[in-house]
Amino acid sequence: MRPAIVLLSGGLDSATVLAIARAEGFECHALSVDYGQRHRAELDAAARVAASLGAASHRTVVLDLRLFGGSALTDLSIEVPTSPSKGIPVTYVPARNTIFLSLALALAEVTRADDIFAGMNAIDFSGYPDCRPQYIEAFERMANLATKRAVEGSPLAIHTPIIQCGKAEIIRRGRTLGVDFAMTVSCYQADAQGRACGRCDSCRLRREGFAATGIPDPTGYQP
Amino acid sequence: MRPAIVLLSGGLDSATVLAIARAEGFECHALSVDYGQRHRAELDAAARVAASLGAASHRTVVLDLRLFGGSALTDLSIEVPTSPSKGIPVTYVPARNTIFLSLALALAEVTRADDIFAGMNAIDFSGYPDCRPQYIEAFERMANLATKRAVEGSPLAIHTPIIQCGKAEIIRRGRTLGVDFAMTVSCYQADAQGRACGRCDSCRLRREGFAATGIPDPTGYQP
């Protein structure tokens, strides 16, 4: 089996991406990042999801982005919004996807993987600059100049199989591939048990997605 | 003063780059990374250098790349070579510069800096793919699509002022700008006091550089 790196947050989207990579026959090395996020229950979810979907390995890198702040997800003094906002949301973490893809790139080099899978989505997160296809293409181009493969290896491909999918489509696809969504945590401010707030952007998108599919929403909500 | 981010390792090259950025009139926010490197005395050196060259701030991000391994600098089971090797040296850390520049990108966004300074060098480190100008250009292009500035900001520039300089030229330039090289630590396996081994590639380049300038080498060597 060909090895691939899969960025795994523990949320619904990246769980589906892991299932897609597995269905395509890759030996999946899952990578999560403990970046000081509010929703730390996501990291426990990532471990459960990696095991249940047959990842060959799962690593969690510790990188405390709270040193930088600048986002509602890493700075407790910035509130998580509970209604949709215009422009770039305050939940955007500066350069997060670039940092995560860079870490995946390092792991790809060490494990001799030529493929990285990531769950960016240009529909739900239209306000996040680092979820757009032209950004992914530019990262891939840079990555192919950055590492040993530029000199002596084969090219690297970054797969973002759900980048153009709506939430309902992602849920249908994940379900077909055996993702247990009850295991996943997407809420920006889940509690320690992983129960969702039901009010943040991420909860709203998830709830609307399940409603649109007719599949029962297995999310555990805070009382 | 315009803010800039300066990647500062504590070595001779990045100290000179900080001095160049200061001389160009930037308010310099220095960023170091504690990535589990062997030569941890570099991090102490970075703090001394940042203070002595008037950096406006100095942050050290902790990111343990030992989880990945794959380099003599992060994996104690791989020996640091003491003679020049062909191809990419084992001291190359997978995707290190991409990870470091990504962290600088995050800090640039938070501090509203449009400039990042870094000490990559294509001459000394000709075997490192991520020290070449075409890599830097690709990173800059990606970075300008990755962050808020793609949507609402001004473009980001990555400055690598010593990328085409030989070690002697860097030393002359740093000296003119007041860098105290005795403060810096470049050795791949410096001891806890920051004393250099005198045998690794980095020591060899540094020693040859000082010899070529006629400037006395202030490096403290291990007994």
Tell me what percent of the residues of chain B surpass a pLDDT of 90. 61
| Chain B residues touching A65 at Cβ < 8 A | 106
Q: Which segments within B111-207 are labelled E, that is strand?
A: 115-117, 157-159
Sorted by where each starts, the structural domains of chain B and their CATH numbers stand as: 3-213 (3.40.50.620)
Q: Which segments within A48-183 are labelled E, that is strand?
A: 57-62, 115-117, 157-159
Give the mutation candidate from A145, A151, A154, A158 for the B interface (greatest B CB count, under 10 A).
A145
- The number of beta carbons lying within 10 Å of the beta carbon of residue A223 is 5
In this prediction, residue A39 has a pLDDT band, given cuts at 50, 70 and 90, of: confident
Name which of A98, A146, A151 is nearest B105 (Cβ-Cβ): A98
Compute the distance between CA of residue B138 and CA of residue B108 in angstroms, rounded to an integer: 18
Compute the distance between CA of residue B1 and CA of residue A138 in angstroms, rounded to an integer: 31
Q: Which of these ranges, A113-122, A208-217, B88-97, B165-174, has the smallest mean pLDDT?
A: B88-97
Residue found by looking up tokens 């599919």 in the block:
A213
Per-residue pLDDT reduced to its tens digit, B82-103: 776 666 677 777 888 999 999 9
Give the mutation candidate from B33, B86, B90, B145 for the A interface (greatest A CB count, under 10 A).
B145
Residues of B with CB under 8 A from a CB of A: 59, 61-65, 67-70, 87-88, 92-99, 102-103, 105-107, 109-110, 129-130, 132, 134-135, 138-139, 141-143, 145-148, 150-152
Query: Does the pTM exceed 0.95?
Result: no
* Inter-chain touch A109–B95, beta carbons under 8 Å: yes
Nearest in space to A120 (alpha carbons), one of A72, A161, A74, A171:
A161
* Inter-chain touch B145–A152, beta carbons under 8 Å: no
Q: Is there a contact between B124 and A64 (Cβ–Cβ < 8 Å)?
A: no
Confidence (pLDDT) at A87: 66
Residue in chain A lying closest to B135 (CA)? A145
Torsions phi, psi of A21, nearest 5? Answer: -65, -40
The Cα of B1 is separated from the nearest Cα of chain A by a number of Å equal to 21
Per-residue pLDDT reduced to its tens digit, A90-142: 777 788 899 999 999 999 988 889 999 999 998 766 667 888 999 999 999 99
* Inter-chain touch B95–A106, beta carbons under 8 Å: yes
Query: The complex's ipTM?
Result: 0.90
Name which of A69, A92, A99 is nearest B102 (Cβ-Cβ): A99
